[in-house]
Amino acid sequence: MPELIIDGQPLRVAQGTTVAAALMSAGDRCSRTSVSGQRRAPLCGMGICQECRVNVDGLRRLACQTLCRDGMHVETRP
């Protein structure tokens, strides 16, 4: 079972869990903050809406298209 860090908080998830699914178990369940300051969350779950953009180990990724790995650092806040 991989353990990742989401906004500084450790979270252990089942193998094969997407980052979007992990976000549903962590913090405020959001993936990013819009330019107007609203918190946004994964919506479509299939790579279309782009609402699930997060920083994974310093790179911008779609949370719904990214599998959790042990030691992964996910950031949802600028």
**47 or 71: whose CB is closer to ligand FES?**
47
As measured in angstroms, the least distance from the Cβ of 62 to ligand FES is: 5
- To ligand FES, the closest distance from the beta carbon of 36 in angstroms equals 19
Q: What is the DSSP letter of 67?
A: B
Query: What's the rounded Cα separation, in Å, for the pair 76 and 1?
Result: 22
What residues line the site for ligand FES (CB under 6 A)? 20, 42-45, 47-52, 62, 64
Quick one: tokens of 75?
Answer: 């950031």
In the complex, what is the shortest distance from the CB of residue 46 to ligand FES, in angstroms, rounded to a whole number? Answer: 6
Element (H, E) at 20: helix 19-23
